[in-house]
Amino acid sequence: MKLLDQLTYPIIQGPMAGGFCVPALVAAVSNAGGLGSLPCSLLSPAVMREQVGQIRHATEQPFLLNFFVQKTPAPSEEEVASASELLRPVWQSLGWDSLPRPQQWCQDFAAQFETLLELRPAVASFTFDILDRQQVDRLHEAGIGVIGTVTHVAEALAWQAAGADAVVASGVEAGGHRGTFIGRQEDATLGARELWPQVVAAVDIDVIAAGNIMDGADIREAMAAGAKAVQMGTAFLVTDEAAVHPAYRAQLLSKTASTRLTRAFSGRYARGIENRFMRQMAAMEALVPAYPVQNALTGSIRAAAAANNDPELMSLWAGTGVNRSRPMPVAQLIHTLAAELGHS
Ligand SMILES: Cc1cc2nc3c(=O)[nH]c(=O)nc-3n(C[C@H](O)[C@H](O)[C@H](O)COP(=O)(O)O)c2cc1C
């Protein structure tokens, strides 16, 4: 993929949905010689346009837009009622009589896709599912590079067959949601250092390595495994530009954080710092509805936790490398990584 060859440094800032990757962060990464990513999955077309405008105002460098490939669900009243019942111990602990009904389950992916075509970033990446050949062709016709997210070889081959230019190979250590879309999420447990060489050997397209990459030595290891670039999430979450709630940030920087996978917050397995919500919901985890229904249902709980400065009920997404996080401005992080890599 030409764009990856053109980057000053082979470093992609992982898209992180939830309002953390504000336009100033994305632009700062691209201006410093990496590739900034704007997570669009939770944004309406109007907000996508506004934020892309802000990025373009702050940088002339290429950047990436990222999406969850998903269909808007239509759960029955019974499904919603039983899912809120599973969450009862949590909302009762907040003193509520019932769990508020979300206004929407998720953004409309079809509308986001048309907006993506209109906005024409250099590249777009996708997770949670796969595009069809026709969608990939439309992106290519608009001059947009296409990257899929994979957690095992079969998914990498599927994206290659759909016409993708590259795949992000994301090991089980990675922070945030697993991208698994073929087979059961609980079976996609390959660690990054096993996954990268397997995917590199299986596909002809570029491979971007992700999962517990925190410093220059980690980047070198990924490149030695055959990756063309790396995608780092957790490392950018503690930069000065990231819009992270202070209580979440304190957990990220505690140096004693312990992470694990849970599907209790969102209905899809994701890695975060263990807290009371995860422990309280552990026995019900297998029963909660699939993403995005559970994610929407826990939205009011997470918002209340943020308002109360209570990290015990927030989703504290982070990778296994969290205790190696280095808080600093984006430009300094990129230059530190470049120096560790032996570039200037
Ligand atoms: C808070 C958080 C939110 C994330 N949200 C997204 C997302 O919206 N889309 C996506 O493709 N990946 C998402 N990820 C994954 C990152 O882009 C990246 O691949 C991952 O963090 C790499 O692993 P690391 O955290 O060990 O560096 C998220 C990760 C974190 C920590």
- CA-wise closest residue to 322 among 245, 214, 246, 195: 214
Residue nearest (by alpha carbon) to ligand 1 atom 6: 16
The residue assigned the tokens 């953390």 is 20
> Are 31 and 331 a contacting pair, CB within 8 Å?
yes
SS (H, E, C) 197-238: HHHHHHCCCEEEEECCCCCHHHHHHHHHCCCCEEEECHHHHC
Mean pLDDT for 55-80 is 98
Instruction: Tell me, using a 6 A CB cutoff, whether residue 232 lines ligand 1.
Output: yes
Q: With a cut of 80, say whether residue 344 has pLDDT above it.
A: no
- CA-wise closest residue to 197 among 252, 262, 166, 153: 153
pLDDT tens for 240-287 read: 999 999 999 999 999 999 999 999 999 999 999 999 999 999 999 999
Confidence of residue 234 (pLDDT cuts 50, 70, 90): very high
Instruction: Tell me, using a 6 A CB cutoff, whether residue 180 lines ligand 1.
Output: no
Q: Please tell me the predicted confidence (pLDDT) of residue 343.
A: 79
Instruction: Tell me, using a 6 A CB cutoff, whether residue 267 lines ligand 1.
Output: no
Residue nearest (by alpha carbon) to ligand 1 atom 29: 176
Instruction: Tell me, using a 6 A CB cutoff, whether residue 36 lines ligand 1.
Output: no
Cα(177) to centroid of ligand 1, in Å? 7
Instruction: Tell me, using a 6 A CB cutoff, whether residue 16 lines ligand 1.
Output: yes
- CA-wise closest residue to 59 among 30, 20, 38, 25: 30
Q: Note if the pTM is more than 0.95.
A: yes
Residues comprising the chain, all counted: 344
Cα(92) to centroid of ligand 1, in Å? 31
Instruction: Tell me, using a 6 A CB cutoff, whether residue 148 lines ligand 1.
Output: no
pLDDT tens for 96-151 read: 999 999 999 999 999 999 999 999 999 999 999 999 999 999 999 999 999 999 99
Residue nearest (by alpha carbon) to ligand 1 atom 3: 16
Question: What percent of the chain is predicted at pLDDT more than 90?
Answer: 99
Q: Please tell me the predicted confidence (pLDDT) of residue 24.
A: 98
